[in-house]
Amino acid sequence: MTLDSSLMPVVTNSKSPLPMRFQVMLFAVVRMIININTRMIYPFLNTFASGLGVDLVTISLAMTIRSVSGALSLFLTPVADQRGRKTGMLLGVAIFIVGAALVMVWSTFTAFTISISLTFLGMFVYLSSTQAYIGDRVRAGRRGTALGLIETGWGVSYIIGMPILGWMIDRYGWRAPFPFTAALGVLALFLILVFVPNYKPQQKLIDGNVLKSILEVLKIPAARYGLLMSLMLISSNEVINLVFGVWLEVSFGLKLAALGAASAVIGISEISGESIGGVVSDKLGRERSIMLGMGLMLVVSAALPFVGGTQAGALIGLFFFYLSYEFTFVSTLPFMTELVPEARGTMLGANVACLALGRMIGNLVSPFVFRVGIWANALSAVIFVLIAFWALTRAKANRSA
């Protein structure tokens, strides 16, 4: 996927020192910086648990609290509708920096829980503001490509970040990633401050009242079904995502460096899915692309326990699991930007809040079903995807009505 001149703004009441295609690249870089921190928990879950002196269930509880905090972004993301998209981005990155820096001065389990909760909250505030910005400024026929490009920052964070963090943790201990990612956050804040223009969107559903904005969006049936779809999709991902590092470590004896390398493989699969999903959603159509992705997710999730008997088979299965999920997720983004265009920032804020709640569901379910075996996690993923497919059909029907 390449950047081209068709990524042109659809609103022109503000100027930027960067053309739109380079702004998209900047957003992808910031996405990568934030996700190096928010994603490091998964491959090194056992290491953080050991460093903090807690077990898998206890640290899973911290992850659940993190997910709840992410859902609180719903009450902050309307700022992007009211104060401007840039303000929302800066707020999100500032919250992220505070969270990442906390463990530098307070290294307890409580501090760790607060830290990962703040970084997660900051990520979602930034993400919804960025998606609303792209929804405003890139025409619909190229929006999926632009959003897909930004989402590659999610995958690149694994390819670049996890091997580096694996080396840092092995050499300096479990606290090492926190000052490193806080410094990266300061860099991200500077990039947004200098290169992103600020403006208030031309249309708003409700002026000046966050709660009313949220309630008005939730009154729309298509919006509710779309949010349920997102909730179930992210749950299907998280139910595998939380335990894949433990699964590889326990089943095949992978250690820190090897887990970092395995995470890089997953990152490559995610970038592939994000890139393909963005282009296909523009070419094939949003709903068809989402349905295709969900079909792939069902097949791969069902096959994971059967191909995961060897280390190579497990890595191949995870590769296609994350590829199919990212393809589907990126395909949903342009669909969600058009469900409530008159309150796009609030709608996308509700969407990322549902992503956080979906992760909470996955965090609650995953460690308990993993006691039975990875096949139980895979079955849970299949069930979540089936519910998401039903929600998509209802959102499509209500949107057309």
Whether 86 is covered by a domain: the verdict is: yes
Whether 11 is covered by a domain: the verdict is: no
Among the listed residues 361, 346, 149, the one whose alpha carbon sits nearest the alpha carbon of residue 239 = 361
Whether 284 is covered by a domain: the verdict is: yes
Whether 122 is covered by a domain: the verdict is: yes
Tokens read off for 103: 């463990």
- d(CA 57, CA 47) in angstroms, rounded, equals 14
Look-up of token digits 């497990």: 314
Cα dihedral sign for 141, 34, 228, 205? negative
- pLDDT at residue 353, rounded to an integer: 85
Whether 223 is covered by a domain: the verdict is: yes
- pLDDT at residue 229, rounded to an integer: 97
- d(CA 290, CA 331) in angstroms, rounded, equals 5
Whether 14 is covered by a domain: the verdict is: no
pLDDT per residue as tens, the chain (401 positions): 444 444 444 444 455 667 888 999 999 999 999 999 998 988 888 899 999 999 888 888 898 898 888 888 878 877 777 788 899 999 999 999 999 999 999 989 999 999 999 999 999 899 989 988 998 888 877 888 888 889 888 888 888 898 899 899 989 999 999 999 999 999 999 999 999 988 766 655 555 566 777 888 888 999 999 999 999 999 999 999 888 878 887 888 776 666 666 767 777 888 888 778 877 887 888 789 999 999 999 999 999 999 998 888 988 999 999 999 989 998 898 889 888 887 777 888 888 889 888 988 998 899 889 999 999 999 999 999 999 999 999 998 887 55
Among the listed residues 145, 203, 141, the one whose alpha carbon sits nearest the alpha carbon of residue 346 = 203
Q: In CATH, what number is assigned to the domain containing residue 132?
A: 1.20.1250.20
Whether 33 is covered by a domain: the verdict is: yes
Counting the structural domains of the chain, the total is 1
Among the listed residues 231, 376, 247, 229, the one whose alpha carbon sits nearest the alpha carbon of residue 301 = 376
- pLDDT at residue 118, rounded to an integer: 96
Whether 377 is covered by a domain: the verdict is: yes
Domain containing 311 equals 20-195+207-400
101 touches 178 (CB < 8 A): yes
